[in-house]
Chains A and B, each alone.
Chain A
C-alpha cells in the first residue's frame, strides 16, 4: 500500500496509463481520488476555456469580413479623393509653372535683345572704344 500518489503517479492516471498498484490505490484512497478528480476537472475546464476562446475568435474573424465591403469602399473613396486632389494639384501646377517660366523667359529675352540693341547701336566695336575716346578727346 502506497501512502499517497506522487505527481508522476497522478500524471500516469491522467494520461490513462496507471500501473495496477496506482489504480488500486486510487480506488481505495478517497484523498487521492479527489485530488485526481480536481486535477482532471481543472484540465478539462482549461480545454473548454481554450475552445471557447478559439470559437469566439473565429466568430470575431467572421464578423470582420462582414464589415469589409463598407470599410473597403470607404477606404477606396478616400483613396480616390486623395488621387483626385493630387491630380488637380498637378493640373493646376502644369498651368501655373509654365506661365511663370514663360514670364521669366520673356524677361530674359528682353534683356538679351536690349544687350544686342546696345551692341548694334555702337559706332565702333567695344574693343575700339578706348581708341575712339582718345580720338574724341582731341581738339
Chain B
C-alpha cells in the first residue's frame, strides 16, 4: 500500500491549502500524500528507521487530533513539518545518549546510496568523488547543531523555500537564512571546496 502511496506521490506537488472541513473529510488522502515526506524528513533527521516511523505515525495522529485548529495560515506540508519537527526534537532529546551511536550505525545507507545515483556520463573517478562528497555532506549534517541541521534538511532534502522553513520552524526568515549560511559553510568546509 505504501509503495502505491510512494509511486503515486509526485515529488514536487503543489502544497494544498484545504479548509478544516476538507481536512477532516479526507484525512486519509492527506496521509497518503504527505506520509513519505514526513517519514523522509524524520529519517534524515534521526537516521533511525524505527524512530522515523514512530515520529511519522505520531505526527499524523497529532495532526488528526489538532485538525480543527489548522488555520490555513500555511500549507499543509508546512503545518505537518512543524509537528514533525517538534516530535523529532523531543525524540532526539529523550534519546540524546543513544542518538549519535545509532546515527553512526545507520549512516552507511546514505553513503552507499550515493552509488544508486550513478550517471553513465560520469567517469568512475568523478562518480567516486561525488560519492565521497555525498558521504561528507551526510557527515557534516550529522555534526550540525540541531536548528542548522533541521533548516538544512528542510531546504536541501525537502525543497522548502525560506518562508516555508520559517513557518515550519517558527523562526524569522532572516534567522533561517543565517542558519542556512552557517550550515552551508560547515558542509563546504567538510567536502573541501577548491576555492
Q: Which of B113, B136, B153 contacts A53 (CB 8 A)?
A: B113
**What separation, in Å, do the CA atoms of A7 and B191 have in the docked complex?**
12
Q: Which of B110, B155, B193 contacts A35 (CB 8 A)?
A: B193
What's the minimum C-beta distance from B136 to chain A, rounded to whole angstroms? 8
CB pair B109 A53 closer than 8 Å: yes
**Nearest Cβ on chain B to A70's Cβ, whole angstroms:** 18
The verdict on A45 contacting chain B, using a C-beta distance below 8 Å, is: yes
A122 is an interface residue with CB less than 8 A from chain B: no
- Would A50 and B177 count as touching, CB distance under 8 A? no
Most buried by B among A4, A11, A51: A51
Q: Does A79 have its Cβ within 8 Å of any Cβ on chain B?
A: no
* Bound Cα distance A41, B87 (Å): 31
Report whether A58 and B2 are in contact in the complex, using a CB–CB cutoff of 8 Å: yes
Give chain B nearest CB distance to A4 CB in angstroms: 5
**When the two chains form their complex, are residues B2 and A53 in contact, meaning their CB atoms are under 8 A apart?**
no
Count the A residues whose beta carbon is within 8 Å of the partner chain — how many? Answer: 34
**Bound: A60/B134 CA distance, A:** 23
Residue from the list A47, A55, A60 in contact with B157, Cβ < 8 A: A47
Which A1-38 residues sit within 8 Å CB-CB of chain B? 4-5, 7-8, 10-11, 14-15, 31-32, 35, 38
Cβ of B184: which chain A residues have Cβ within 8 Å of it? 7, 10-11, 14
User: Does any Cβ of B come within 8 Å of A62's Cβ?
Assistant: yes
B81 interface residue, CB < 8 Å from A?
no
| 1/0 contact string of B110-145 vs chain A (CB within 8 Å) | 110110110000000000001001101110010000
**What interface size band does chain B fall in?**
35 or more
Instruction: Tell me which of B109, B134, B187 contacts A45 (CB under 8 A).
Output: B134
Q: Is the CB of A11 within 8 A of B116?
A: no
Q: How many A-B residue pairs have CB under 8 A?
A: 115
Q: Would you list which residues of chain B between 9 and 47 have a CB under 8 Å from chain A?
A: 11, 36, 39-40, 43-44
Tell me the bound Cα distance from A10 to B104 in angstroms.
30
Which residues of the other chain, A, contact B159 by a CB distance below 8 angstroms? 47
B170 at the binding interface (Cβ < 8 Å): no
Once the chains bind, are B116 and A49 in contact (CB under 8 Å)? Answer: yes
In the bound complex, do residue B43 and residue A45 qualify as a contact, i.e. CB atoms below 8 Å apart?
A: no
Nearest 3 Cβ contacts at the A-B interface:
A54-B40, A49-B113, A42-B133
Q: A41-B130, A43-B137, A45-B117 are in contact. List 20 more A-B contacts (CB 8 A).
A: A10-B184, A11-B180, A14-B184, A15-B180, A38-B194, A42-B130, A42-B134, A42-B136, A45-B133, A45-B134, A46-B138, A48-B113, A48-B116, A48-B117, A56-B113, A57-B43, A58-B3, A58-B36, A59-B3, A59-B6
Q: Which residues of A contact B (CB under 8 A)?
A: 4-5, 7-8, 10-11, 14-15, 31-32, 35, 38-39, 41-43, 45-62
Residue pairs across A and B with Cβ atoms less than 8 A apart, 12 shown, are A10-B188, A11-B184, A15-B162, A41-B130, A42-B130, A48-B113, A48-B117, A49-B134, A52-B113, A53-B109, A57-B49, A60-B49
Residues of B within 8 A of A (CB): 1-3, 6, 11, 36, 39-40, 43-44, 49, 52-53, 109-111, 113-114, 116-117, 130, 133-134, 136-138, 141, 153, 155-157, 159, 162, 177, 180-181, 184-185, 187-188, 191, 193-195
